[in-house]
Amino acid sequence: MTLTEERSAPEAEMAPIAHSGARHAMIVSQLRTSGVNEPWVLAAMAGVAREDFVPEAMRDAAYIDRAIPLGNGRFLAAPLVHGKILSEAAPTATDKALLVGDADGYLAALLRPLVGSLETVDPAAVSGMTGEGGYSLIVVDGAIETLPETLGAQMAEGGRIVTGLMVRGVSRLATGCKTAGAVSLLPLAELGIPALPEFAAPKRWSF
């Protein structure tokens, strides 16, 4: 066995331990200190390894308190963002849920065990959605400037939505519900949520 092999084996064995410690620190120093204290949220995030959802070169930074680039213009939002999204979404076993995001991503892994059923749609495909999905919960993994009518049409009456919302260049967490066929969004706390370019507002000309 070479010296390189002798060193690499223990390092590989120690990696899961280091990531487990980072996950605990995330819960204590990022989530709890920012008001995310629901036991079910903390349990969900303690049980999913964020390092499995980032590029290999970023695994050691998986638990930092900022977004991580995934490539192709996509980002893994900071842990606090996903903690707040889960808290506001309050998913239940009776929810028929839709996630606008990666079917194999971190937020999908968090949501799937908490809802009755979870379907996903890529942000680029939302504009082509047709029909009524009858979803009681829609979660958008990113910040939007406008809510497409095609997405609102997928919500059941009384259904709820949690998303990031860009307001004058600042991203905020927002929640909404569908009442009398209309969806209204209420911006909440300012939060650093990566923007989804597919949901940018149309450019307006000014003179």
Percentage of the chain beyond pLDDT 70 is: 89
pLDDT of residue 206: 52
Closest CA to 65 of 26, 104, 32: 26
At residue 205, the pLDDT reads 55
- 206 is a domain residue: no
Domain contains 204: no
The yes-or-no verdict on residue 167 having pLDDT over 50 is yes
Element (H, E) at 23: helix 3-25
Answer yes or no: is pLDDT of 4 > 60.
no
Arithmetic mean of pLDDT over the chain: 90
Secondary structure (DSSP) of 115-163: SSEEEEE-GGGGGG--S---EEEEEEEEEESS--HHHHTTEEEEEEEEE
pLDDT tens, 101-147?
A: 999 999 999 999 999 999 999 999 999 999 889 999 999 999 999 99
pLDDT (tens digit per residue) in 41-91: 999 999 999 999 999 999 999 999 999 999 988 999 999 999 999 999 999
What CATH number is associated with residue 14? Answer: 3.40.50.150
Residue 168 or 203, more confident? 168
**pLDDT over 60 at 18, yes or no:** no
For the segment 39-53, what is each residue's pLDDT rounded down to a tens digit? 999 999 999 999 999
Number of domains in the chain: 1
The larger pLDDT score, comparing residue 6 to residue 193, is at: 193
User: What is the band of 200 on the pLDDT scale with cuts at 50, 70, 90?
Assistant: confident
Residue 203 pLDDT level (bands cut at 50, 70, 90): low
Domain that holds residue 19: 3-199
Contact 118, 126 (CB under 8 A): no
**Structural domain includes residue 22:** yes
Q: Which residue has the higher pLDDT, 189 or 2?
A: 189
Q: Is residue 207 included in any domain, yes or no?
A: no
Token duo for residue 97: 């849920």
Whether 149 is covered by a domain: the verdict is yes
